[in-house]
Every structure is written in structure tokens, then in C-alpha cells.
Amino acid sequence: PEIVASGAKLPDGIVDGEVVALDHTGAPDFAALQAAISDHKTANLVYFVFDQMFAHDEDLRKLPLSDRKDRLRTTLVGARENIRYVDHFAVAGDAVLLSACRMHLEGIVSKRLDAPYQSGRVTSWTKSKCRGGHEVVLGAYTTTNGAFRSLIAGAFKNGQLVHIGRIGTGFGRDTVARIMPTLRQFETPTTPFAHRLPGKTGDVHWLRPELVAEIEYEGFTGDGMLRQAAFKGLRADKPAREIETETPAPVTTALQNLAPPTVHTHTVMPRGSASVMGVVVSNAEKPLWPDGLDGDPVTKLDLARYYEAVGGWLIRHIRGRPCSILRCPDGIAGGQQFFQRHPAKGQSSLITAVTVSGDRQPYLQFDRTEALIAVAQVAGLELHPWNCEPFKPEQPGRLVFDLDPAPDVPFDRVIIAAREVRDRLQRLGLVSFCKTTGGKGLHIVTPLKGEGVDWASAKAFAMGVCKMMAADAPDRYLVSMAKKSRGGRIFLDYLRNDRMSTAVAPLSPRARTGAPVSMPLNWTQVTKGLAPARFTVRTVPSLMSKLTAWEGYCDSERSLAQAIKSLGKV
């Protein structure tokens, strides 16, 4: 209504634009838009206008876009702040797209300035995206013990709905609460899909194929299934029948279709270099690990390709958090190893330098997969992010319990300890996830609901949990760092739960023999016989298309304040 009121003060006409919610950096935030509309809190929404079709009763549609935009600029003179003119850049699209991606925007729209206005899908304009984005039809949702778990996506092909995968991430508690009434409204007793879904369907709730969702994804598997799809929101403006099976055109194709003819030049790569996701990796064949447990060394190029393969999943767990890297310029056998927390001279522009209140020097931060390729270029073998809420370094975002066994403790006892930590946290109202450390221990991670609990309280809570566990079984556990007293016991390390303390990221490689990886696990995997050494830079990429570990992580954020109260009653 606020935008309508502002528009009523402008000259009569018909314009084209998009309503947007902006985040704290001024970038569009689709989830915030969904929340604003759902909660009827629309005062801060902005209508970005990019075309004009009519001025009073004058039809402008046959005019070229450049003329229509000139008329639009005049129409919007004196418009209020919540109606804004969208300017354009009459330059090569690839440069604008690169800038948009570096600003963490979704992408750009490229249009011919000499084209008339045409409705529907036409060749005079195209979208180029920084990362995979798509609309899908929702055919079902799944639950576990009555709690929402995932969405099942489809698209129409020859008039029939075909299954194209599951959407397992992107669901915070508020998001689930917002979409569930709509999902229930569209439930139906029979499947809308043309073919039987693979796997169990006992906890599947079928939907009439009328709801459209916006998603992000990392591509398709060999059998046409979405890979690492994340939910962004429902699209009430999109008819489901328009969503057909297709793969969005590659960015390079879209740019080439619109760009004027150019004289093509061949860029010569420096000898021994390679390019991954457009990032040059020099000395690509330099060994970083002497042996990847397959008899061959793991090179800089191998590391870059590993980051490319897992980056879409990994980035979601480090984005918006300061992150240190362990650099090994000459590999793990070369001697020199050092942590880097702050940007260095000549640092890649793909890597974000983030300022934290109270600290003089900015910190490294990695918000997109290409930044991880830049990490590989400087032989960054390990990623160690803060455990804060994304973009809120003063706010605890997760707790990490590091189970560090003495050399004489068999790994099966570490597994028992991990399950005990999980059960204790569950009794306190927290949900936990497990991952290997890339070494001999395990990490238990519990996501926290953003609220006013400080780091000191978070650390004290973690210490309290560990001390109680050690007091109950002093022959098995201890909270002392002194190695001389660890014999036969597991050190319950709670010290990673502080403002600047870090823990190795899930899917981060480790600078250890065999190129192991800190592998996220399902709790069903955390059982006798688990062999962490099999998760390596070589083996993990092939597992990504089937990775279901940590599904529902965002849904599992719980109140630390409430858990602290519960601990006080134990």
C-alpha cells in the first residue's frame, strides 16, 4: 500500500518493475521480501522501475527501449524514495556481470536498447546469473516424526509433472512456519508426478502441482536431479504450468547472444597455469599432499577443483563469518605452514575483507565459491571460520564440541562419546550435527537461534555441559588440556566457543597425510565401523550428489538462552 500511495502521485501511465526488499548492505533479499509480504510489514519495500509501456493514453511499446527509458526517467521525476528508476550500463555485459557477482548480487538482465517492448519470452533480453537459480513446481513435502524436512520439486514435460529432485536446505524456523499453512492448503491424497518417486514415500505429503518455488542450486546430476538445492521462497506471481524442464542457458552463451560482434583474442595462460571458475591457478601441478592415498600427489589444481566441487555446500557454512586459512606454500612436506587471518598485499578481489568492530585490521571472509579457488591459488589447505551468526561477529551462531581422544583411545569410544554429547544437548533442547575432524576426533555442532546471548555465556554453557559429562564418567572424559593426564580418556574441548575462536569448516581439507577432509555425517553413520580416513580430497567430490548429511541444519536453530536455563536445573 505504501508503494501504491507513492505511485498515485505520479503521472498516469503503465510501467514495468519489481518490488524488492533490501538487506543491511542495500542488496536485494528475496527471503526478506517473502517475510515482509507475509507479515504485512511492507513500509520498507522499494519498487524498482525499468520500463514504461504507456504514458497517459500514448502507447510507447513500439519505441526502442532507449526512448522508453528516457520517458520513464521523466515520469519518475519527484517520485518518493520507495519508487526508484533503474539505470543501465551500455557496456559489455561480462564486465557488469563480474561486478554484480563480486557484490554478491544474483546477476544481471541484458537487453537490446533498440528493441520494442514485447511480452513473454523473447530473444531481445536475457538473464545472466552469478549462481544457479531456478523456479520449480512443488509436488510434495516430507516430514520426519511430524516435523517438516524437505520439499520435492518437479517441472512439466509434455504436460506431465516429472520429478527433478529434493530441496533440503534454506528452511529456517520462521520460513517453515510461514510456508506450512500454504502447503497444507494444497495437500492432495494422490501423487501429482507422472512416475513413481524413488525411495520411501511413507512421510511424503502430496501437493496439487500449483505452487512455484524459487531455489538456488549447484547444477544437475547425471540423471537430471537438482544438486544441492536451497529454498528461497514461494512465487505467487508464477503460474505452475509455465515451469518446464529445462536447464538455464550458461552465462557465457547469454552474454554472447547479446554482445555486439567483437574481434576475439586468445588469452595465453602462463606456462604451468590453469583456470578454474575463471580464477587462474599458477604452478597448477605443484604437489600439496605427497599422496592422496591413491599413490598420486594432490596438486594445487586438484585442490582448486575440489573447492569447485564442494563449494556450493561449503560456502553456506562459512559465508558471512571471518575465516582464517592455513597456508602451506610448499605443501605439507615443505616445512612452512602458517595461519592467515588478515588480508595480505595483492590479495584476490574475490576474497572479502571484513571489518569487525573494535579490531584494527580487517579479517578474511569467503562468501562465494570463486573465493575458495583464490584460496587454493595461495595454497590455503584449511578453512577455519568463526562460529558467529553470519554477518554478526558478536552473536554466537553455533556451538562446537571437539572430542579429542588420547592416542590409546580406540575410535569406537569417540563414537560413543559423540552420541552422548548429542543426547545431553537434546535433553537441553538443542539439535546437534556431527562431522569428522579430518584427524582422530569428532566435532559436534549445534546451530543457535539468533538472540541476545553473548560469547561469555555461550562458552560457559559449553563448559558446563563438558564438566558434567566428565564428572559423570571421569575414567572416560576430562576437560583439562594437559596432555600428560589424558591417557585412556577423551578431552572434551569446549574452548572453540569464544568470539575469535575457530573450528575447521565442514568439508575443509586438512594439512595431514592422505589429504583428509572434515566430513559432515548423518547420525546413522556415526556408528561402529566409521572410517574417517576414507573421506579425502580425492573421494569426497563423488559423494556430493548423494550427500544428505546436515539436512535441516537451518531448521534446527534453537534458543541458547532456554538451554542455559535448562542446564541450571540439571
24/151: higher pLDDT: 151
Q: What is the pLDDT of residues 310-334, one digit of tens each?
A: 998 999 899 989 999 999 999 998 7
Contact indicator for 318, 327 with CB cutoff of 8 Å: no
Q: What is the mean pLDDT of residues 437-443?
A: 96
Contact indicator for 361, 306 with CB cutoff of 8 Å: no
Q: What is the pLDDT of residues 463-517, one digit of tens each?
A: 999 999 999 999 999 998 776 777 899 999 999 999 999 999 999 999 999 999 9
Note the helical H segments in 140-211. Answer: 173-185
Q: What is the pLDDT of residues 254-295, one digit of tens each?
A: 333 333 333 333 334 556 788 888 888 999 999 999 999 888
In 397-515, at which residue ranges do the beta strands (DSSP E only) sit? 398-405, 433-436, 442-447, 477-478, 490-493
536/254: higher pLDDT: 536
Q: What is the pLDDT of residues 553-563, one digit of tens each?
A: 887 889 999 99
Q: What is the pLDDT of residues 504-531, one digit of tens each?
A: 999 999 999 999 999 999 999 999 999 9
Question: What pTM was estimated for this model as a whole?
Answer: 0.62
Domains annotated on the chain, with CATH: 2-126 (3.30.470.30), 132-242 (2.40.50.140), 274-389 (3.90.920.10), 397-506+550-568 (3.30.70.3300)
Average pLDDT, the chain: 86
The per-residue pLDDT for 119 is 77
Place of cell 583428509: 516
Is the backbone of residue 120 left (phi > 0), alpha (psi -120 to 50) or beta? left
269/105: higher pLDDT: 105
Confidence of residue 27 (pLDDT cuts 50, 70, 90): confident
Of 190, 173, 171, nearest to 234 (Cα)? 171
**Residue 122 in this model has a pLDDT that exceeds 90:** no
Enumerate long-range contacts of 142-147, CB under 8 Å, 24 or more apart.
142/166, 142/203, 142/204, 142/205, 143/203, 143/205, 144/203, 147/555
Q: What is the pLDDT of residues 148-202, one digit of tens each?
A: 888 999 999 888 999 998 887 777 677 888 899 999 999 999 999 998 887 655 6
**Residue 357 in this model has a pLDDT that exceeds 70:** yes
Give helix 455-472 / helix 560-568 axis angle, nearest 10°: 40
44/125: higher pLDDT: 44
CA dihedral 502, 505, 511, 516 (to 10 degrees): 140
Q: What is the mean pLDDT of residues 425-435?
A: 96
The per-residue pLDDT for 327 is 95
**Residue 25 in this model has a pLDDT that exceeds 60:** yes
Q: What's the grid cell of residue 35?
A: 517475510
Buried b (16+ CB within 10 A) or exposed e, 355-381: ebeeeeeebbbbbbbbbbbbbbbbbbb
Number of H helices, E strands in the chain: 11, 29
Of 246, 241, 141, nearest to 191 (Cα)? 141
What gap in Å lies between CA 489 and CA 474, rounded to an integer? 8
CB-based contacts of 42: which residues, under 8 Å, 6+ apart?
Answer: 1, 2, 3, 36
The per-residue pLDDT for 201 is 59
Q: What's the grid cell of residue 234?
A: 514461494
Contact indicator for 514, 491 with CB cutoff of 8 Å: no
What gap in Å lies between CA 477 and CA 108, rounded to an integer? 55
Q: What's the grid cell of residue 216?
A: 538456488
Q: What is the mean pLDDT of residues 431-453?
A: 93
